[in-house]
Structure 1
Amino acid sequence: MSASHAGDPAAFAADVLDEGPAEPEHEPGVASRRPTKTCAGGALIRDSTGRVLFVVPTYKAVLDIPGGMAEDDESPKAAAVREVREELGLTVALGPLLVVDWTPRNGVWRDCHQFVFDGGVVDGAVACDPELSGVVYLSLDGAAPRIYPSLHRRLTLAVAALESGTTRYAEFGREV
């Protein structure tokens, strides 16, 4: 559910109905030939000293921020809220969008739009998901050897966006 309808499913349902009937496919098969992109929502959560909260996944060798892939008909912000709840057991009211970043295909993973939202300040978070072996709070420089370079760039932009109040657009972590 979109952020503008958070907590108001009736308003969301009304907006869907207002769009009218589903758009028909005028050229059979055209929709199935379109590229499929993925998107993910993540939360920039800091502790009271300003360190960033990273999760320690069991399924990959690098740290990540809380969040994950959006499911069908799920907005990136809703995905981030859901993933933070699943991963950390926290119900957060995410703040503003900080960064939209496009990442290219990487091995089996399709190209993706990455959305980073302000997750606020949380001290003492713990992992609550079997896909995680823990959490760690680190400075961005301290995290650099343990995260992908593109994530380091994206989070550097997210911190700058938080400080300036201006959302950033990036491609592979580089503002454009």
Structure 2
Amino acid sequence: MLDQAAFYASLPRKRIGAAALFLDQARNILIVNPTYVDNWLLPGGTVEIDEAPHMGCVREIEEEIGLSIALERLLCVEYLTRVGSKNESIQFIFYGGMLTPEQIAVIKLQEEELSDYTFVPLEEALPRLSSNLAGRLPHAVRALEMRQIVYLENGQPLFTEDNARLDG
């Protein structure tokens, strides 16, 4: 019989990512251009072992763009199955809020990881993103607009909008 520590060590682990949706005053979306992949991303990254997803997101935001932000709420959770060498993962999108011109002026990119940032409308952001993030982001934007939280599996919502409403 396994002892408790051995039992928990034998359980599967999933990769977890957490990103934040930030808007400017014109409601454009902040996207960042990483140096290590071809696609643009939302600010955020990999959640470390023993780190809560929202805290991982806050840490990554501070590291990547130099802003200390309190996330406002959860928008989207997506489960992605294994594809090739990419193991399965759970991806979170939180709402980071509407950035003021003063906050935008002090954005400082982590040069080892990011080469650029921009604010663009959703329809301009989508072709720049990975297919997974491009599929997830419209659901997160809709969740923000409708005051919902959405759960996706491989890009597909599992529950109806009526079941996910926060205010009724």
Shorter-chain TM-score bucket reads 0.7 to 0.9
For normalisation by structure 2, the TM-score amounts to 0.83
Whole-Å Cα distance in 2 between the matches of residues 28 and 70 of structure 1?
22
Q: How far apart in 2 are the matches of 1:91 and 1:116?
A: 17
Segments of 5+ residues of structure 2 without an aligned counterpart are: 159-168
Does residue 114 (structure 1) correspond to residue 94 (structure 2)? The answer is no
Q: How far is the alpha carbon of 1:115 from its aligned partner?
A: 0.9
Q: Which runs of 4+ in 1 moved over 6 A?
A: none
Distance 1:175 1:26, change over 3 A: same
Q: Which residue of 2 aligns with 1:10?
A: none
Does the CA contact (< 8 Å) of 2:16 and 2:91 recur in 1?
Answer: yes
1:70 alignment counterpart: 47
**Partner of 1:94 in structure 2?**
71
CA distance in 2, matches of 1:48, 1:73: 35
* Identical-pair percentage: 35
Alignment partner, residue 163 of structure 1:
145
TM score, norm. by length of structure 1: 0.79
| Residue identity opposite 2:134 in structure 1 | H
Map of 1:8 onto structure 2? none
Structure-2 residue corresponding to 1:173: 155
User: What is the CA distance between 1:38 and its match in structure 2?
Assistant: 1.3
Structure 1 counterpart of 2:133, which letter? L
1:134 & 1:106 partners in 2: Cα distance?
28
* Deviation (angstroms), 1:171: 1.1
* Equivalent residue in structure 2 for 1:138, among 100, 120, 128: 120
Aligned equivalents of 2:29 and 2:72: distance in 1?
15
Alpha-carbon spacing, 1:53–1:30, altered in 2? closer, same or farther (3 Å): same
Q: Counterpart of 1:143 in 2: which secondary structure? A: helix
Pair 1:48 & 2:25 matched: yes
> Would you say how many aligned residue pairs link Structure 1 and Structure 2?
153
